Structure formats: C-alpha cells, structure tokens
C-alpha cells in the first residue's frame, strides 16, 4: 500500500515560523505513522517561489536584479529548518525548478486543449498578501480581512480558466465523498463557496516580470496559485517521471491551513478535472494558532523560530506540545507557560519517570525466567491491545489528542502497577514474583516506545537504546511487534534522563 501526503508549499519572503512548522510537523507525524504500518509513503513539501511577495522582498533587500539568488538562499533556509526539526519528507519541490516548470507547461497545455482557457480582461482587486483576485464582497471596510490592507486595483488582459464549468461536478464529488473536505465544518464552508462564489478565474498575469511564462503567450506568466498547486503533481514526477507519477498519484492527503482551503477544495479539483486527472482523496484543513493570545505577525515581532524552540525544549517536546495542546482542526494558542507545564508534567514526570523507574528496577539481577503464568498479564494485555486500537483509529482520523490520551493512560496504569506491586520489596522477598512484575513492566515500556514513535521519534530511539530486545521479537513485522510478548526484553542498559529539567 502507498500513502502520498503533502504540505502546502511555503512562500519564502520570510523565515519559517511556528505556524508553518505546525503543518509540517503534523504531516511528519502522519508520515511516520503510515511508515510504521509498513506502507510506502511519499511525503512532499517545498517552496512556492513565483510569488509577487517573494519578488518584493528581494527588491527590498536590493536583490531585485538577483532574484534567483535570493530565492536559492531563502529556499535553503526553509529546507534546512525542516532538516533541523527532523522532518522526514521524501522530497522537497521548488517551483523554480525545471522539473516543476516542465510539469506546469504540460498541465497548462492539457487544460488548454480541453478548451478551458480563454482570453479576457480582468478589472478588479488583487490582494498580494493572499496572492488572490478578490471581490468587493470579500473585503471588510475596503480592506482584505486577513491582511488588513487595501488590495491593488488592477486592469489587465488575462487568460481565464473556465472553472465554473466544473461547479456541478465539484458539488457532486463533495456530496459523494464526505471524506474529501475535512473537518466537516470546512465542508459546509466549501459547498457554500462553490455554490455562490465560484466563478471563472484569471490564471495569468501580464504585468509581472517573474514567473513561469504561459506556453501559449510568453508575454504572460502563470498566476502563482495555478502554478503552485501543480507542485503536488510535479513533486512526484508529473511531466518528468511517468512511472513514479502513476505510482504515487492521487495523493491520499493534502494537509493545509484553513486559510487556503478554497484553493485546494475548489480551484484545484476543477483544474484536475479539466486536465483529466484523478482527484486527491482528502484535503484536511487545520486551524490557526496565536502566540500567548496574539496573532503571529512580523509587526508584533512574535514570529518565533521553531528551531529555537526545538533547541531549548527538544524537538520531541515541541512536536508533542503542538498536537497535545491544540485539538487538530481547531484554532488554538501557543503558550510558553503551557509548553513548560506539559514538558514537566507529561514528559519528564509522566513518560520519562516511568521509563527510568522501570529500567532502574530491572537493572538488578532478575533471576531465572519462569514458566508459570503471570496472573496480571491478562489485564495488561487487554489494556495494551485497547490502547493500540484507540491509537489506530485516532491516528487514522487525525485525532492526535485521543491517541496521546490513550498512551498516557497506559503509562499511568504502569505507574500504579509499580506502586501496587512494590518490586523493590519483591526483589528481596519473592524472586519469582519479582521476575514476573519486571517482565511485564519492561514489555509495557517496549509497547510505549512503539506507540509514541510517530509523535516522539527521538524518544523512541532513546528508549530502544536502553532495552535489549530478543532478536526474535525485533525481527517481527510491525503488526506482530504490537502483540504482547512477555519475554521480549532480555536486559536493560541504563541511560540518561529522557527529559532533563528545563533551564529556560
Ligand atoms: N504558498 C501558499 C500555499 C501554496 S500550496 C499549493 C501559502 N503559503 S504560506 O507560506 O502562506 O503558508 C501557508 C500555510 O502555513 C498555511 O496554510 C498553514 O498551513 C501554515 N500557517 C501559517 N500561519 C499559521 C498559523 N498562525 N497557524 C497555523 N498554521 C499556519 O499559503
């Protein structure tokens, strides 16, 4: 089985902030989950470079005559940010690469040959912040509600895409495939948008000096959104590697922020229908978050660098916090106070303490293995297997909080079990019982290390380094590894604390 997922490709007129990292980190969690299930994952991210915003930023820095150089530098910053955060994307697509340009030309020609492109004049507003043609009705007090700026008024000869031709087909698709637009609240928003506001759209710009020239008229460049959406195809080989493209398209998931859902759930599928290509299976829109109550913005100077947070708190705690604290799909707040609280209570005192207690208890001589059945095993087996079930359905539905709740419930069962059985006393008084209890706890730690893997991959590695697992279990398929194997952990090697006290 294959699983293809994408993040939006980011504008690179600035450094990545925590909001961008959110989308990418969540995509990484999903990618790791599918890999863990043994699927062939293609995880694509990249940079959206033919944007007016990027060009203006280059000009501001006096690099107006060296735009490609500016884009190369900026794109490298984004790429290295994801590397520093441990993101496991399969590829990184840039819209100034020749493979992308080749694919955009091919796609444009397909739409053109379908008879879906015509010449006209665009008279109206353009919001450079949104990189979108906007209607009077989109404005609030004459301003773009997102960017709080007056949009440009433009009048230029443009080529248009007959998007409205696909209105009924789009509505029918959304009707037939409730999973296509998620979460549900977004679905209603999109249906309303397609029914009432989805019209033909200008897909070329005449007045811009940067972008991909239109194959049929080189005095125009392709409108940046029409160009950018095609990255989802060119990043997996459309136009350059048919075999790979056939293998990985359609994508199972486009992960996007709620701000760009219309492009992904209306324009994009209409473009694909016109080009005769299958539609992605799902677009999932997550919410936006604020920082300590404020909108993330340059002027407030609060656009924190995710790499800095990862350096201070660790990459895993950052990942954990983002999906633990903010219900996926809703808006939320990023608070440093909450981040510290979660670090201490859930990670250091919860997970970290449990693992170090068990490893310390097991470091003593455990004695001979016992054939007799441990009476506690039936209960723990049931709980572990229920945890895996919840984990599976929650991750499948992107309900990360539920998956984490279940894992932490298992950890707290383990803590209570330690309190109840008092293995330190058993070590002296009842060697056989001691062996049973420790075997069970170690197996619980092994399960925990697997369950947390999509969320806390570095912690999984650190735990794994402390457990010596019998080669027979190590060699099992990922599915079989999730079963209960009471004698899986042969011995332990004590390591350093998983979540040391913070000094921030
Ligand atoms: N270039 C377009 C996307 C083209 S995809 C074919 C774009 N880029 S962007 O740089 O503005 O990044 C957009 C994405 O970053 C959002 O859709 C969202 O996923 C993420 N976020 C940006 N700010 C965010 C928050 N404050 N909170 C959560 N996510 C945020 O739009």
Can you tell me the distance from the alpha carbon of 80 to that of 75, in angstroms, rounded to the nearest whole number? Answer: 9
Percentage with pLDDT > 90 across the chain: 80
Characterize 72-105 residue by residue with b for buried, 16 or more Cβ atoms within 10 angstroms of its Cβ, and e for exposed. Answer: eebbeebbebbeebebebbebbbbbbebbbebbb
- Range 97-122 average pLDDT: 97
Residue 130 clears pLDDT 90, i.e. is over it = no
- Range 26-47 average pLDDT: 97
Can you tell me the distance from the alpha carbon of 398 to that of 323, in angstroms, rounded to the nearest whole number? Answer: 10
Over the stretch 347-371, which tens digit does the pLDDT of each residue have? 999 999 999 999 999 988 777 777 7
In a mutational test of the pocket of ligand 1, which residue from 6, 7, 10 has the highest number of ligand atoms less than 8 Å from its CB?
A: 10
Closest CA to 297 of 129, 420, 454: 129
The secondary structure of residue 71, as a DSSP letter, is H
* pLDDT of amino acid 299: 61
Rounding to the nearest 10 degrees, give the CA dihedral for residues 394, 400, 401, 403. 50
* pLDDT of amino acid 21: 96
Can you tell me the distance from the alpha carbon of 30 to that of 344, in angstroms, rounded to the nearest whole number? Answer: 25
Query: pTM of the full predicted structure?
Result: 0.96
Can you tell me the distance from the alpha carbon of 345 to that of 17, in angstroms, rounded to the nearest whole number? Answer: 26
Cβ contacts of 246 within 8 Å, gap of 6 or more: none
Chain centroid offset of residue 413 CA: 30
48 CB within 6 A, ligand 1: yes
Tokens of 452: 């947390």
Alpha helices, H only, 353-474: 353-362, 377-396, 400-421, 423-429, 431-451, 457-466, 471-474
Cβ contacts of 142 within 8 Å, gap of 6 or more: 150
22 CB within 6 A, ligand 1: yes
Backbone dihedral angles phi then psi of residue 125, each to the nearest 5 degrees = -95, 155
Tokens of 282: 């799902």
9 CB within 6 A, ligand 1: yes
Can you tell me the distance from the alpha carbon of 313 to that of 479, in angstroms, rounded to the nearest whole number? Answer: 32
- Range 143-169 average pLDDT: 91
Backbone dihedral angles phi then psi of residue 160, each to the nearest 5 degrees = -110, 150
Backbone dihedral angles phi then psi of residue 329, each to the nearest 5 degrees = 105, -25
Report the atom number in ligand 1 closest to the C-alpha of 10. 10
- Range 463-482 average pLDDT: 91
14 CB within 6 A, ligand 1: no
Ligand 1: which residue has its CA nearest to atom 17? Answer: 257
Chain centroid offset of residue 69 CA: 29
Can you tell me the distance from the alpha carbon of 179 to that of 35, in angstroms, rounded to the nearest whole number? Answer: 22
Over the stretch 410-454, which tens digit does the pLDDT of each residue have? 999 999 999 999 999 999 999 999 999 999 999 999 999 999 999
For residue 484, the surrounding DSSP H or E stretch is none
Task: Please state whether the peptide bond connecting residue 183 to the residue before it is cis, i.e. omega within 30 degrees of 0.
Answer: yes
How far does residue 182's CA lie from ligand 1's centre (Å)?
Answer: 17
Which sequence positions are flagged as catalytic? 17, 20, 127, 130, 144, 147, 295, 298
Can you tell me the distance from the alpha carbon of 127 to that of 111, in angstroms, rounded to the nearest whole number? Answer: 25
In a mutational test of the pocket of ligand 1, which residue from 259, 272, 322 has the highest number of ligand atoms less than 8 Å from its CB?
A: 259
* pLDDT of amino acid 298: 64
- Range 86-98 average pLDDT: 98
Tokens of 108: 């444009």
How far does residue 257's CA lie from ligand 1's centre (Å)?
Answer: 6
Are the C-beta atoms of residues 211 and 225 closer than 8 Å to each other?
Answer: no
Can you tell me the distance from the alpha carbon of 359 to that of 341, in angstroms, rounded to the nearest whole number? Answer: 25
* pLDDT of amino acid 167: 98
* pLDDT of amino acid 366: 79
Q: What is the mean pLDDT of the chain?
A: 94
Residue 324 clears pLDDT 90, i.e. is over it = yes
Can you tell me the distance from the alpha carbon of 366 to that of 276, in angstroms, rounded to the nearest whole number? Answer: 65
* pLDDT of amino acid 290: 86
Percentage with pLDDT > 70 across the chain: 99
Strand, helix or coil for residue 457: helix
Residue 4 clears pLDDT 80, i.e. is over it = yes
């Amino acid at each position: 089985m294959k699983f293809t997922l994408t993040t939006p490709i980011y504008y690179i007129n600035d450094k990545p902030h925590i909001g961008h990292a959110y989308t990418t980190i969540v995509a990484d969690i999903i990618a790791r989950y599918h890999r863990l299930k043994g699927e062939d994952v293609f995880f694509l991210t990249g940079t959206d470079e033919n944007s007016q915003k990027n060009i203006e930023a280059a000009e501001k820095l006096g690099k107006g005559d060296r735009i490609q150089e500016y884009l190369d530098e900026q794109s490298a910053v984004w790429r290295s940010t994801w590397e520093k955060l441990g993101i496991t994307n399969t590829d990184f697509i840039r819209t100034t690469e020749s493979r992308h340009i080749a694919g955009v030309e091919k796609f444009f020609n397909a739409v053109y040959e379908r008879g879906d492109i015509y010449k006209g004049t665009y008279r109206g507003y353009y919001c450079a912040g949104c990189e979108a043609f906007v209607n009077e009705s989109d404005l609030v007090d004459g301003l773009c509600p997102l960017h709080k700026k007056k949009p440009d008024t433009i009048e230029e000869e443009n080529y248009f895409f007959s998007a409205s031709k696909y209105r009924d087909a789009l509505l029918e698709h959304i009707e037939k495939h409730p999973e296509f637009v998620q979460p549900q609240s977004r679905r209603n928003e999109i249906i309303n948008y397609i029914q009432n506001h989805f019209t033909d759209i200008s897909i070329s710009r005449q007045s811009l000096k940067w972008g991909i020239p239109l194959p049929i008229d080189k005095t125009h460049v392709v409108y940046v959104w029409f160009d950018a959406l095609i990255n989802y195809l060119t990043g997996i080989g459309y136009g350059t590697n048919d075999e790979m493209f056939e293998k990985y398209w359609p994508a199972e998931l486009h992960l996007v922020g709620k701000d760009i859902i219309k492009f992904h759930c209306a324009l994009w599928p209409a473009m694909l229908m016109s080009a005769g290509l299958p539609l992605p299976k799902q677009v999932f829109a997550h919410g936006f978050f604020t920082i300590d109550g404020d909108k993330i913005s340059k002027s407030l100077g609060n656009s924190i660098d995710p790499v800095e947070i990862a350096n201070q708190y660790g990459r895993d705690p950052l990942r954990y916090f983002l999906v633990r604290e903010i219900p996926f799909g809703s808006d939320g707040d990023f608070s440093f106070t909450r981040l510290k609280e979660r670090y201490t209570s859930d990670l250091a005192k919860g997970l970290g303490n449990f693992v170090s207690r068990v490893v310390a208890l097991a470091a003593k001589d455990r004695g001979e293995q016992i054939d007799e059945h441990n009476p506690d095993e039936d209960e723990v087996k049931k709980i572990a297997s229920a945890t895996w079930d919840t984990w599976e359905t929650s991750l499948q539905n992107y309900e990360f909080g539920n998956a984490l709740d279940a894992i932490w419930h298992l950890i707290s069962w383990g803590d209570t079990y330690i309190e109840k059985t008092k293995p330190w006393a058993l070590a002296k008084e009842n060697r056989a019982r001691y062996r049973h209890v420790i075997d069970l706890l170690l197996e619980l730690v092994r399960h925990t290390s697997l369950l947390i893997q999509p969320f806390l991959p570095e912690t999984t590695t650190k735990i794994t380094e402390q457990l010596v697992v019998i080669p027979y279990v190590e060699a099992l398929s990922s599915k079989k590894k999730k079963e209960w194997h009471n004698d899986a952990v042969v011995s332990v090697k004590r390591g350093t604390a998983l979540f040391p006290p913070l000094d921030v």
